[in-house]
Copies of this chain bind each other. A is one copy, B any other.
């Protein structure tokens, strides 16, 4: 593998991770501003963002820049973080 393809790979993965992080931030901001996880608009925003990211990952995998298993792991991790966020908010509301 040349340095150049290595740098495309690194850049692709860094971009995908940054986009996943942006989704977390977006959801955090929505939660802080009283938009309930049960709200259809919230769900739509989240679905749209997750779909967009999954398309980027799929594209990177088809390009040969990201391994399919790494792309899947990135999405799985994001889903776990979102679940944890949801739980944290639900607990806060119960108190």
Give me the interface of A with B, judged by CB distance under 8 Å: 2, 4-5, 8, 11-12, 15, 48, 51-53, 55-56, 59-60, 62-65
Q: Which of the residues B11, B55, B62, B65 comes within 8 Å of A55, measured between beta carbons?
A: B55
Known: A48-B51, A55-B52, A55-B56. A63 touches B2 (CB 8 A): no
Residues of B within 8 A of A55 (CB): 52-53, 55-56
Residues of B within 8 A of A15 (CB): 59, 62-63
Residues of B within 8 A of A64 (CB): 11
Residues of B within 8 A of A4 (CB): 2, 4-5
Docked pose: A89 CA to B51 CA in angstroms:
30
